[in-house]
Structure 1
Amino acid sequence: MSPETNTMPDQEKPTMSVLTFPLARIPAWAVLERRLFDAVEEAWRVFDARFCDADGRVLRTPEFDSRDGVDDLYEPFFNWPTFYALGGSDEILASAKRHWEGVTAQLTEGGMLTDEYENGYDWFHQGESLIFLYALCAADPDDAAFAERARRFAQLYTDPSHGNWDPELNIIRAPHNGSLGPLPGLGPQWQAYRADQPEMRKYGLPLDSLPGIRSWDDLADEENARRMGQEMQRRAAGDVAVNLAATTLAVNRWLYDGDEATARWVIGYIDGWRRRAADNDGLIPDNVAPDGRVGGLHDGAWHGGHYGWTWPHGLETIGMATVIAAINHAIVSGSTDALDLARASLDAPMSHAASGPVEESGFSLAGGWSERYGEYADRPGMLVPHRYGRDGWFDYGPPRLDLPLWLWWFSRDESDLARLRTLLDGLPHDPAEVIAFRDKAEAGHEAAWVSFLLGEAPDYPVHALEMALGQVARRVALMTDADVDPRTVHLHFWQRVNPVVTEVLSHLVSGAPQILYNGGLPLTALRYRDEDRHRPGLPADVAALVTRLGDGEVDVELVNLSQIATRRVRVIASSFALQRITAVRSEGVAHGTYPGRSEAYASPRDPSITRSSEVSDGTVVVELPPAHAARLTLTVEPETVRPHHDGRADAPATKE
């Protein structure tokens, strides 16, 4: 841009006209972003052809001998609809729907689903299964079949006749629940819990208060193993905190039709857990007996429930469930008060923080963190206890950044940002560094992205896109390995090689963290619509970069890389109409002389101006001539209508 900047007088401002400027230099991030779109389009077709049948099933029909496994077949496709919504092809959305239908039929034949829904399992895993469904609903809300499924699935919990929810005690009746109602115990595989399970040893005892069983090696005794299994089955009753993720199923339905009973259920169920937390000094307990008493099956202890504070993951599961539920409550109620439920779940472990290398921590999940930290795994960093048992806090490991990031992203509260900064300061490496790795959630680069938003990592877009392209290339190499037999691979193989990359695109294009993997909604700060093709996402050749997320403002840059075609894109504030754009300030040239005279050595340097306009309909249409860009500051405010899936024919009701 030219260093000269003028501001137009108010009387000269048009009602709605966004300034653009010609590109004397094509930004590298824009080229890489569009290349990433192209690379993913190539790669998902390889996955589709190599690992899936024509009807959408994955090639190998797995054998199920427990309640576990439903999530593993849905997870390889979880972010395909998100890629479409960002600007991916119509074909990937059609393929994603075909895979949902095919996998659902496959799982039904395997005896794992009834009426297209999971028979019953914990909500740590159900949440992983359902983010695929939520993404499909958000990507194409006009698909009547998925809208009907959203309503039917939610009623499994909001309608007491299905048995999952006890309206008198306001509890979900069992840790394992689903289309068959509350299921007894934990299933047949753990009738005895023996020591010969090396993959489970790192998590320790599932119950830490049984007489005569004080260590893992005590489970080598067959009678102890039998007693442990019996107690695990007996205590797997009543409500557990991880069930809070079920509220997303209800919110997803509510976003279609605004059903008041569903809204009351979401708010009421979460408020029940908020009251229990208030009675426990603000920290959410993890178990409620079938009679409604906290600790009723655990000798009065507020900890010890299935997928709770004590076993197996603690903060990983409780933190995820409380952040998901708090945001769901805020979406439906319009109040952010419930965010305190999640804040307490993060602050309690942080108050006991220590320092040390993850490789020496003994942390139960150290393996994944060592890969994530790479060469920095042997350097000291912040460690927080993830679990609480009979002897207090234990199992120290690195704190997750996605949970506090989502709190700040949703609230834009300075206290939430301060917590996030504390965690960034505790990393064993420079937060601005983009470390090359990828897990199944396709997340983990929050530190560098936040540093970019705070103005402390200006190279993040380029480095992150370079990394993402490398991720796609490695996944393609794994898929095309001649030694891979798709009919004999491990059940987790497909999710490990899913080549669709959305984390970095979500950061840069949507201004949002990667989805909360155990059951969050696909929220965005901005979304887009191709005005010429009349569909969601960025038009061809257009790249977007959200550069700042403020309290009431969002900065974004748009670049048209085409040298011949003008592109028109509509910019919309947030998914689900949580916010609307009320004003736009743009920077560019008014009447430029580009491209200038052919005999000139350089492009003309027209004076830059800024223009501010009020926005009447809540969105902004930007017309980008060939090789032009726009820099926008968008003023956003809460919407005046209730949150809803965009695309429905009927208008949502105005907020009261």
Structure 2
Amino acid sequence: MLTITGIPLDAIPAWAVLQRRLFHDIEEAWRLFESRYTGPDGGILFPAEFTDRDGVDDVYEPFFNWPAFYLLGGSDEVLAAAKRQWEGVTAQLTAAGMLTGEYENGYDWFHQGESLLFFYGLCAADPGDEAFAARARRFAELYTDPAHGNYDAERNIIRAPHNGALGPRPGLNDTVEPYSASLSEMERYGLPLEYVPGVARWSDLAEPKAARAMGEAMQRAAAGDVVVNLAATGLVANRWLRDRDPAAAAWIVRYVDGWSERARANGGLVPDSVAPDGTVGGLHDGRWFGGHYGWTWPHGLPSVGMATVVGGLSAALVTGDDRHLDTARRVLDTVLEQAVVASVAETPYSLRGSWLARLGDAADAPALLVPHRYGRDGWFDYAPMPLELPTWLWWWTHDPADRARLDRVREGLPVTPDPVMAFRDKAEAGHEAPWLDFLAGRLPDYPERALSMALGQVARRVALILADDSDPATVHLHFWQRVNPVVTEVLTQLAGGAPQVLYNGGLPFTAVAYADADRDRPGLPPDVAALVTAVERDRVDLELVNVSPTQPRRVVVRPAHPASPRLVAVDAVVEDGLDFPGPSTAYAARRGTARPVRLEADSDRVTVLLPPAHRAELTLHTAPAARTAITDRAENTKERP
């Protein structure tokens, strides 16, 4: 294994101090959250009662990023707490009748993807945990094994929009429910189906007969496959990462290719639904749009785009072939072809509130807006493109065309008074633009500003918890998501060199991973801060700082980007003629002459020795993993990073 020794610091960088303070504050905050809102078994303190199929995701989501915090350097206790919470919440949901065999009975993959982020994170945080590895295999087989009924191997479709442990579930509920205008919170999304006789506009749903007709039509149309089911490939890829099972890889490729073929037959743009007999639009009079969580309702681009990116990444992961991302690329390019320039404030976009929070006063400025949905009158619901979609495509491939698309979307956003806006939504995303500007050299103080903002996020969540005197039985089911004090977006960007995980079913990837050599566990050692300053397909630049004035640290660094995980060489900086700390009579230590060195790699990782108040500057040169076929197995998938 390569070993590199850091060089002494004359001054501790502010970003490093802020990053270590963020680790400290999150450690205090998650313990407060746990003590206030979870019981001894890890379950959330609320009566787990549900009236329909919705709600499983809301109980897992408050903890979705706790395993990620552990992997970045959080304490052993936060991982133990996260496992306890998953077990407790799972038991809670099982008792409520929402799970069978620890897995959701059956719901749409927009929400299943949200539910599973916590599980994926735990699998990544401790790949040696046999219980979670067994669950990963068992959950994936709900889709890869036709005996469970979810997957129709002959037609290459998932059999229903609602699917899971009980197989394909009929309709959207166990009984038909009228879809009435009294559902005022849903009015902004418009009609779920646009071709129901007697229902031409939202106000028509005020008539009981029309509301019943809509409910019955929705129940009938909730059959066959829908494009959002592509997120199920993440569940199978999570299993593949554990054991490199060739059948799992083959299932991912076949299922993704099926949707890619349908896109090609539709002029390049992926349709959103397939009837039980395998025909595109068979439940919608042949229309390629109108499926559940598809192009028309309720969100369009965020759900379709997220699912196609997750599916493409899953197939690229197991094959090494980025062409599997072409369907997702075409989704983004199609809406960009319809883009207009207008302000967010003047658009009637259905999810406008989140963009108003992100942009502040800049919401009145002109911006590049793309249509998010397509219906009987064509493209509609214009807003900025969710930046995480083109960001993940570029981050994975580093293809110039993917970068050009990303730059167009990024440049179409209005200039905000503060490029690092202090906001946080449940996905804990939305700061891709300033991070990309930092990587491009346009916002050099992003680390300090972003870490300061993240510290403010933790402080606000803690204040909300301390001020809360509500009865857990009466709070909104989203409350615990809203006060989750674990923040990882900025840490993932700065230390991991990656965007925040895709919220509707993405797997947790980073460009670089760390381990504490002295404690033999993943993550940065205590007192060590990390800053990734450049990410390319074959290179990662980073800086490590030990902020402790007394304790030496040893950190293991390895490239972790799935498309380029093999370490080829390491560039470092050494100082010749260094006299540190020098005599006490000197006003300052005598610095040496900085000199770059290159070390050829004889291992997949490098150990960095950091004496007290030392730093190291590294460039990891990487290459794709050797792979001859998707049937290749890992040599030892249980090894810790």
Contact 1:432 1:451 (C-alpha < 8 Å) held by counterparts: no
Q: 2:113 matched to 1:127?
A: yes
Tell me the equivalent position of 2:329. Answer: 343
Amino acid at match of 1:525: A
Q: 1:482 to 1:245 in 2, by over 3 A?
A: closer
1:618 CA displacement: 1.4
- Deviation, 1:646, is 9.9
Structure 2 matches for 1:225-240, cutoff 5 A?
225-240=211-226
Aligned residue among 281, 284, 287 for 2:270: 284
Q: Distance in 1 between matches of 2:596 and 2:459?
A: 41
Structure 1 residues 301 and 206, CA gap change in structure 2 (3 angstroms): same
After superposition, the Cα gap between the structure-2 partners of 1:509 and 1:174, relative to the gap in structure 1 and judged at 3 Å, is: same
Preserved CA contact (<8 Å) 1:32 1:465: yes
* 1:242 is aligned to 2:228: yes
Q: Is the 8 A contact 1:30 1:559 kept in 2?
A: yes
Paired position in structure 1 for 2:67:
81
What are the Cα deviations for residues 60-118 of structure 1, in whole angstroms up to 9, with x where unaligned? 12320010000000000000011000000000000000000000000001010001000
Per-residue CA distance 1:444-502 (angstroms, 9 max, x = gap): 00000000001111010000000000000000000111533334211100010000010
Structure-to-structure mapping, 1:403-552, within 5 angstroms: 403-430=389-416, 433-552=419-538
Question: Which residue of structure 2 lines up, in the alignment, with residue 597 of structure 1?
Answer: 583
Does residue 148 in structure 1 map to residue 134 in structure 2? yes
Residue 630, structure 1, aligned to residue 581, structure 2:
no
Worse overlay, 423-432 or 642-651: 642-651
1:372 Cα offset (Å): 1.7
Asked if 1:184 corresponds to 2:170, the answer is yes
Larger displacement relative to structure 2 (480-489 or 281-290): 480-489
Work out which of the residue numbers 205, 213, 216 in structure 1 matches 2:191.
Answer: 205
Deviations 1:373-407 (A, max 9, x none): 12222222111100001111001112110010000
2:73 aligned with 1:100: no
Tell whether 2:52 aligns with 1:66: yes
* Letter matched to residue 601 of structure 2: V
Distance 2:436 2:163 in 1: 37
CA distance in 2, matches of 1:68, 1:58: 17
Q: Which residue pairs with 2:304 in the alignment?
A: 318
Give the aligned partner of residue 52 of structure 1: 38
The secondary structure found in structure 1 opposite 2:194 is coil
Matched, 1:159 2:122: no
Q: CA deviation at 1:576?
A: 5.8
**Deviation per CA, 1:6-38, whole angstroms, max 9, x where unpaired?**
xxxxxxxxx945352211011000000000000
Q: Who is 1:251 aligned against?
A: 237
How many pairs were matched up? 638
Asked whether the 8 Å contact 2:41–2:88 carries over to 1, the reply is yes
Note the C-alpha offset of 1:647.
6.9
Distance 1:571 1:577, change over 3 A: farther
Q: Does structure 1 retain, via aligned residues, the 8 Å contact 2:48–2:92?
A: no
Q: For structure 1, which segment, 371-380 or 336-345, has the greater mean C-alpha deviation from structure 2 after superposition?
A: 371-380
Q: What does the per-residue CA deviation read over 1:599-654, in whole Å, with 9 as the maximum and x for residues that have no partner? A: 12222121111110001111111111111101111101112368989974589xxx
Matched residues in 1 for 2:252 and 2:409: separation?
Answer: 31
Counterpart pick for 2:314 among 306, 328, 334: 328
Secondary structure of 2:374's counterpart equals strand
1:577 shift after superposition: 8.3
Deviations 1:173-227 (A, max 9, x none): 0000000000000005762111111100000011112233211111112211111
Structure 2 residue aligned with 1:384, among 364, 370, 378? Answer: 370
Q: CA deviation at 1:256?
A: 1.4
Cα deviation digits, residues 491-534 of structure 1 (max 9, x gap): 10001000001000000000000000000100010000110000
Q: Is the 8 A contact 1:29 1:465 kept in 2?
A: yes
Unaligned runs of 5+ in 1: 1-14, 652-656
Residues 210-269 of structure 1 show CA distances to partners (whole Å, capped at 9, x for unaligned) of: 233211111112211111111110010000000000011111111111211111111000
Distance 1:220 1:188 in 2: 23
Report the TM-score when normalising by structure 1: 0.95
**Larger displacement relative to structure 2 (568-577 or 385-394):** 568-577
Counterpart residue type for residue 467 of structure 2: D
Question: Which SS does the other structure have where 1:633 is aligned?
Answer: strand
| 1:22 aligned residue | 8
Q: Aligned residue for 1:7?
A: none
Decide which moves more: 209-218 or 196-205: 209-218
SS at match of 2:322: coil
Q: Which blocks of at least 5 consecutive residues in structure 2 are unaligned?
A: none
Contact 1:384/1:398 (<8 A) preserved: yes
Shift, 1:569, TM fit: 0.7
Secondary structure of the residue that 1:368 maps to in structure 2? Answer: helix
Q: TM-score, normalised by structure 2?
A: 0.97
Q: Deviations over 1:311-356 (max 9, x none)?
A: 0000010000001110000001111111111111111111111122
Q: Distance in 2 between matches of 1:558 and 1:110?
A: 47
Deviation of 1:585 after TM superposition, in Å, equals 0.6
Q: Contact (CA 8 Å) 2:98, 2:105: kept in 1 or not? A: yes
Contact 1:19 1:587 in 2 (8 A): no
Alpha-carbon distance in 2 for matches of 1:224, 1:60: 36
Amino acid at match of 1:336: D
Take 1:501 and 1:411, find their aligned partners in 2: how far apart are those partners?
27
1:4 counterpart residue number: none
Contact 2:538 2:564 in 1 (8 A): no
**RMSD of Structure 2 on Structure 1 (CA):** 1.8
Q: What's 1:584 paired with?
A: 570
SS at match of 2:467: coil
Q: From the superposition, tell whether residues 431 and 517 of structure 1 become closer, same or farther in structure 2 (CA, over 3 Å).
A: farther
Q: Distance in 2 between matches of 1:45 and 1:499?
A: 10
Query: Which one is further off, 404-413 or 630-639?
Result: 630-639
Residue in 2 that maps onto 1:358: 344
Q: Percent identity?
A: 60
Contact 1:527 1:573 (8 Å CA) reproduced: yes
3-state secondary structure, aligned to 2:11 = coil
User: Using the alignment, how far apart are the partners of 2:520 and 2:22 within structure 1?
Assistant: 23
| Counterpart amino acid of residue 537 in structure 1 | G
Is the 1:82–1:135 contact (alpha carbons within 8 Å) kept by the matching residues of 2? yes
2:117, 2:506 within 8 Å by CA — same for their partners in 1? yes
Q: Which residue is equivalent to 1:606?
A: 592
